[in-house]
Amino acid sequence: MSLILTPLSGIPLIRHGDNLADVIVQALQTNKLALEENDILVFAQKIVSKAEGRVVNLATVTPSQRAVELARETEKDARIVELVLRESSEILRTRPGTIIVEHRLGFVCANAGIDHSNVSGEGNNAEEWVLLLPKEPDRSAEMIRQEIEAKTGKQVGILIIDSHGRAWRNGTVGVAIGIAGLPGLQDLRGKPDLFGFTLRITQVGVADELAAAASLVMGQAAEGTPVVHVRGFPYPLREGSLKELLRPKDQDLFR
């Protein structure tokens, strides 16, 4: 079994309104890659958010009283805290520099996934601009999938990823936040292991595993390769969604 991940070079800086399917089809041609059935394309969240206009100028944000108080506790910009509150369904933990939330999309993350890095907008002060996560990443992935399949005639999977921390370990890793046309979770319960024992609890977060691998070749700084082409994914493609990966609250021992 071979899993081949190829970052696509030559992708331009993405702006609001850009058609990502058109951009990727052109990038595949530039990189001399022809899509095959069951290939997967992994997108960094940033370019999806930028194409969807999820860039916010902090100068336009007026903090609420709650945001001002939380900003004082966490030593953060009150305008960013206001955006964190708007993007979250619950504040779980705080400390100076960090706010851990349940994002409105259902997963737990730091600062609601709001990002300063590699973000710019109209005007001179790039640091005044921040980027929010896509409103509906599964829907974004599905729309991209439909357009690429229509343009190429090939069945593909689409994964939108972001960098998140983990409760058990240091360091950020790529995780799936939007899924279309591939499994989020692969259930191996009932299958035999190497010695013939029946697996009882094993469910594999295959979308997150692929997200981490793709993030490794994308890079996290100035690499400029926000899309990765994947061939050889070891599980059948099917309809999937982010919800498969979200642990129910009553099973979350870190709450």
- Catalogue all structural domains in the chain, each as residue range(s) with its CATH number: 4-52+135-246 (3.30.1330.100), 55-131 (3.90.1660.10)
Amino acid identity for residue 53 in this structure: G
Judge whether residue 121 has pLDDT over 70: no
Whether the per-residue pLDDT at 244 is higher than 70: the answer is yes
To 5 degrees, how large is the angle CA 216–CA 220–CA 224? 100
Query: Which residues share a beta bridge with 109?
Result: 101
Supply the pLDDT for residue 190.
58
* Confidence bin at 200 (pLDDT 50/70/90): low
When pLDDT is averaged across residues 174-190 and rounded to a whole number, the result is 88
Span 6-61, pLDDT tens digits: 999 999 999 999 999 999 999 999 999 999 999 999 999 999 999 999 999 999 99
**Which pLDDT band holds residue 128 (cuts at 50, 70, 90)?**
confident
Rounded to the nearest integer, the mean pLDDT of the chain is 91
* Its pTM surpasses 0.85: yes
Q: How far is CA 141 from the centre of its chain?
A: 10
* Rounded Cα–Cα distance for residues 199 and 189 (Å): 5
| CA-based nearest residue to 134, from 124, 125, 144 | 144
Residue for token digits 């071979």?
Answer: 2
Tell me the H-state helices in 20-109: 20-30, 45-51, 65-74, 78-87
Nearest Cα neighbor of 113 from 167, 41, 174 is: 174
What local confidence, expressed as pLDDT, does residue 175 receive?
Answer: 97
